[in-house]
């Protein structure tokens, strides 16, 4: 995978929103954070346009993202927020200009579709917090993004978890939001799973739907292909009046039990205040015993 160049003070970060709308006021904390760290910034054209819940219509958002991809000098593209809409614009993107000046693409949640497309063309990206979240993020989360941009993503660890499936595996780190991975299954944005380490996280899903998605991945052979699984935040899950009977982590553990691969729960990744940056496309080692560790290779 091609790693975009690390940032240095004075470099420029571009703001764009591939999905939901964002106001100038909502962007201010992220601007302040960039400036505090010595970085310049530019807004993509039409950033604050509004069409219902979206940051403008599909063509507006596509042109804005294309402008970012083609930018001749910027070093990073920071997607402002998730929601829904990225998958509606990724098929029309042209990556030729990006190849002349690769940049770090930063975001999570709905941005999983864009991470998948970047991976298809051979580029590493950063699954990390977004401008809409900066005010509520922990210092550790923001520091992890700074470290990933200026140097390399830092190793992560998770506390001991009763559902951990022990073992050690190595591979390229792929993945993102569980619901988004489910929605892009079979498309060009689907990650390459062969021998790689998959990470998942999600927010505000019904427990039966977690089971449905895991069942689909299992039937499609995903768990036969991966070498390990990293589970991040499964946040604010929903249940029906008649309980499903398992929480999200138990559902995931049940589906992975027949597969003799390491599974580590409780990583600080996803819809959490402590959402740490991880590098999609990096070679990593997953070690799971009582706790779990995600360690970056050279």
Residues forming the active site = 109, 201, 271
CB neighbour burial string for 232-254, b if at least 16 within 10 angstroms, e if fewer: bbbeebeeeeeebebbbbbbbbe
User: Crossing angle of helices 207-219/248-256, nearest 10°?
Assistant: 20
Q: Dihedral sign for Cα 198, 90, 16, 101, please.
A: positive
d(CA 4, CA 23): 29
Q: Which residues pair with 202 in a beta bridge?
A: 234
Nearest CA to 16 among 83, 71, 79?
Answer: 79
CB-based contact 166:262 (threshold 8 Å): yes
Q: What is the dihedral of CA 68, 74, 80, 82, to 10 degrees?
A: 60
Cα 113 → chain centroid: 9
CB-based contact 55:17 (threshold 8 Å): yes
CB neighbour burial string for 148-182, b if at least 16 within 10 angstroms, e if fewer: bbeeebbebebeebebbbebebbbbbbbbbbbbbb
- In degrees, rounded to 5, the angle at the alpha carbon of residue 194 between the alpha carbons of residues 189 and 199 is 65
Residue linked to tokens 């029906």: 240
List of residues 6+ apart from 261 with CB closer than 8 A: 165, 167, 169, 223, 226, 227, 228, 229
């Amino acid at each position: 995978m091609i790693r975009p160049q690390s940032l240095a003070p004075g470099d420029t970060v571009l703001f764009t929103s591939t999905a939901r709308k964002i106001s100038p006021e909502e962007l201010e904390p992220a601007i302040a954070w960039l400036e505090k760290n010595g970085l310049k910034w530019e807004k993509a054209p039409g950033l604050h346009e509004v069409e219902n819940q979206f940051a403008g219509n599909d063509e507006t958002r596509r042109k804005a993202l294309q402008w970012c991809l083609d930018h001749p000098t910027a070093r990073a593209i920071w997607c402002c927020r998730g929601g829904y809409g990225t998958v509606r614009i990724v098929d029309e993107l042209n990556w030729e200009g990006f190849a002349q000046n690769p940049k770090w693409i930063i975001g999570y949640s709905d941005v999983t579709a864009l991470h998948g497309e970047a991976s298809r063309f051979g580029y590493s990206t950063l699954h990390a917090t977004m401008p809409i979240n900066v005010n509520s993020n922990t210092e550790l989360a923001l520091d992890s993004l700074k470290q990933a941009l200026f140097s390399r993503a830092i190793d992560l660890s998770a506390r001991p978890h009763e559902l951990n499936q022990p073992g050690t595996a190595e591979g390229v780190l792929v993945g993102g939001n569980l619901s988004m991975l489910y929605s892009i299954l079979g498309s060009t944005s689907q990650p390459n799973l062969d021998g790689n380490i998959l990470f998942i996280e999600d927010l505000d899903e019904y427990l039966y739907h977690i089971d449905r998605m895991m069942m689909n991945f299992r039937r499609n052979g995903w768990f036969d292909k991966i070498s390990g699984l990293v589970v991040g935040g499964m946040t604010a899950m929903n249940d029906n009046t008649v309980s499903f009977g398992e929480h999200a982590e138990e559902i995931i553990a049940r589906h992975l039990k027949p597969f003799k691969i390491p599974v580590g729960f409780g990583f600080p990744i996803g819809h959490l205040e402590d959402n740490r940056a991880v590098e999609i496309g990096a070679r990593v080692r997953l070690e799971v015993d009582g706790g779990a560790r995600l360690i970056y290779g050279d």
